[in-house]
Amino acid sequence: MASFDMVSKVDLQTLDNAVNVVNKEITNRYDFKGSHVVIDLNKKEFKISLEADSEMKIQQIVDVLISRSIKQGLAAEVYDLSKEPFVSGKVTKKEVPVRNGIKQEDAKKIVKLIKDSGLKVQAAIMDDIVRITGKKIDDLQDVIQLSKTWNLGIALQYVNMKS
């Protein structure tokens, strides 16, 4: 039986490099000269803390973060941008959690989408991984192609292909 794992992992070193590039670019930008800006990555909790003078500057930092992350090889979906910025004293803050791993409800959606596709494969949830097995590698490759059309809001990687 051939199999592969569908995961949603973020490489910590790549994420750290992306945050450092954003920090360097923002401190060198003319429109941010002399203004309060803090971009901090919490490596244990996979959260990025942003602080700036206004909500508009926070949004500019987020835009730069996404564009630089894409250039570093990270998908834009790894950032959970659903939380709104909040004002704390004279500064505006925003917490940006980084999605690492497939949540249980997302894994259930993936398994349901695979079963609804009618392909001759089985999908099993293993913690934050979805393992897909099938008799033919072609069926597994069809699942990969099909999964690229899904709009789940998470970045998927395909690892551990075995035949």
| Average pLDDT, rounded, for the chain | 91
Residue 92 sits in the same domain as residue 110: no
On whether the CB atoms of residues 98 and 47 are closer than 8 A, the answer is yes
Boundary-marking domain end, from 97, 117, 139: 97
In this structure, are 92 and 105 located in the same domain? Answer: no
- Other beta carbons within 10 angstroms of residue 74's beta carbon come to 21
Of 43, 70, 97, which residue is a domain's last? 97
Whole-angstrom Cα distance, residue 101 to residue 104? Answer: 9
* CATH number assigned to the domain comprising residue 107: 3.30.70.860
Q: Count Cα neighbours of 159 within 13 Å in the Cβ-side half-sphere.
A: 7
Pairing relationship of beta strands 2-7 and 129-134 according to DSSP bridges: antiparallel
CA–CA separation, 5 vs 8, rounded Å? 10
Q: Indicate if 138 and 93 belong to the same structural domain.
A: no
Query: Are 17 and 93 contained in the same domain?
Result: yes
Q: Are residues 79 and 117 in the same domain?
A: no
Residues 73 and 141 in one domain: no
Residues 31 and 73 in one domain: yes
| Number of domains present in the structure of the chain | 2
Residue/partner pairs of 156-161 with CB below 8 Å, 24 or more apart: 156/6, 156/7, 156/8, 157/6, 157/7, 157/8, 157/9, 158/4, 158/5, 158/6, 158/7, 159/4, 159/5, 159/7, 160/3, 160/4, 160/5, 161/2, 161/3, 161/4, 161/137
For 153, counting Cβ atoms within 10 Å of its Cβ (0-12 exposed, 13-18 middle, 19+ buried), the class is: exposed
pLDDT at 16 over 90: yes
78 and 137 share a domain? no
State pLDDT tens for residues 51-107. Answer: 999 999 999 999 999 999 999 999 888 999 888 999 988 899 999 999 988 989 999
Choose the final residue of a domain: 75, 97, 119.
97
Q: Read off the pLDDT of residues 31-51 as tens digits, 9 standing for 90 and up.
A: 888 889 999 999 999 999 999
Q: What pTM was computed for the model?
A: 0.82
Sign of CA dihedral 76, 79, 81, 85: negative
Q: Are 156 and 146 in contact (CB under 8 A)?
A: no
List the CATH number of the domain containing 61. 3.30.70.990
Residue-number span of the structural domain to which 143 is assigned:
2-8+101-162
On the question of pLDDT at 162 being above 90, the answer is no
